[in-house]
Amino acid sequence: MKKSLLLLPLPFLLASCATTPPSNVENACRIFREKPDWFDASLDVERKYGLPIQVQLAIMRQESSFKHNAAPPRDTLLGIPMWWRVSSAYGYAQVKDGTWDWYKDKTGNWGADRDEYDDAVDFMGWYASVSQRTLGISKWDAYNQYLAYHEGHTGWQRKTFNSKGWLVQVARKVDANARMYGEQLRGCRDSLGSSSWWWPF
């Protein structure tokens, strides 16, 4: 009886570990050594869509800090917090309801969940592909990929970010983080199991 009681919480502990953000978000190698299944998912997306792993990580870090259930703050009415939120964005990639439905409709990935890492990075790869196809943004261009991600394709075309100095600064930070992660991955990809890494320069 005592053994069964001791084992009872184990599934809950395992589930908690699976969804806990990485202990060190500054280092891509440490992220993937702690979360090897994340590396497998990100590598799949890189091969499928051509979106570099470092760009995936940089955007996700900015959007959710790698929290599976990240959500915007609740709206307020006369200073009182309400039950609804300021946006329907949710999950690792902070995707809104309508955009997530668009992704599922176009890809047929109807079982996708925004709080699953593999689904979130697959969305990122798909969205970056649309950004490249419709706007001509390179998938290696973390700065403009992030601006199109945040403002939407129409917003990027209209350059709405030009009136948002704070957003331009955020995009620069995303770009810097992507470069940092890329340099780190140069030194550890082989140890993470990659055998087919490529660079365009």
Q: Is residue 81 part of a domain?
A: no
Q: How many CA atoms lie within 13 A of 191 on its CB side?
A: 10
Q: How confident is the prediction for the chain on average, in pLDDT?
A: 86
Q: Is residue 123 part of a domain?
A: yes
Give mean pLDDT, residues 116-130.
Answer: 98
Give mean pLDDT, residues 176-185.
Answer: 98
Give mean pLDDT, residues 146-164.
Answer: 97
Distance CA 70, CA 77 (A): 22
Q: Is residue 60 part of a domain?
A: yes
Give the range of the structural domain holding residue 30, as residue numbers without chain letter.
19-66+114-192
How many domains, the chain? 1
Q: Is residue 108 part of a domain?
A: no
Give mean pLDDT, residues 5-15.
Answer: 50
pLDDT at residue 106 tops 70: yes
Q: Is residue 36 part of a domain?
A: yes
Give me the percent of the chain exceeding a pLDDT of 70: 79
Q: Is residue 12 part of a domain?
A: no
| Confidence band for 70, pLDDT divided at 50, 70 and 90 | confident
pLDDT in tens, 76-102: 444 555 433 446 789 999 999 999 999
φ, ψ at 76 (rounded to 5°): -125, 150
Give mean pLDDT, residues 196-200.
Answer: 43
pLDDT at 88: 78
Distance CA 98, CA 85 (A): 15
Q: Is residue 91 part of a domain?
A: no
Helix-then-strand count for the chain, H and E = 9, 2
Asked whether the beta carbons of 46 and 53 are under 8 A apart, the reply is yes
Q: Is residue 201 part of a domain?
A: no
